[in-house]
Structure 1
């Protein structure tokens, strides 16, 4: 059972989702099989630091991309901030320099494989 306070999910759910990705989506292009991304903790902490001063719920948005020069999948992470919109609710706006803030877009991930954990049930 998941602990709703930390948004964790059971191993069985993670295995089901990653299995589905590999079976249906991971070979969607001519680049590579993509099982996941390896993210340096220090870089992840940088994006979290950008939103640390916000009150209420805090979110980071992830975008998938491909670097055509290297044919490598990319995971681009950006901090967000809540923007209450009348009649809509809250929209979480990307914090991007030159768009609406001073935030950075982080391209610090490596697609997996390589760098996977062959003993992991998610690999």
Structure 2
């Protein structure tokens, strides 16, 4: 990895984190529900985009440096496993069993399926 790619990857991580905060804020302002929908949308969308860029990189449509910047940097900053875990624990503490199950396992299943779909589409490019 060149120093320029490292700097771009680092900057993209910061942009991804800011984009996550913005996206979650938009979802929360429009959807007044107690379920952490913003985090689910962020993690599923980020998994799809990461799968897409990875598939495109494996097909040599996208350069490996862009795969690192967009996949590892931007999507790494955008998605958030720790927030999803914390929100699941919070739902369990509130005894909201179904919401906790949906948030913990449901998001995992959706994110994996989204990553597989993105990988298939990216690989077909």
Structure 1 length-normalised TM? 0.30
* Structure number with higher relative contact order (C-alpha < 8 Å, ≥ 6 residues apart): 2
Structure 2 length-normalised TM? 0.29
* Higher strand residue share: 1
Q: Which has the larger radius of gyration?
A: 1
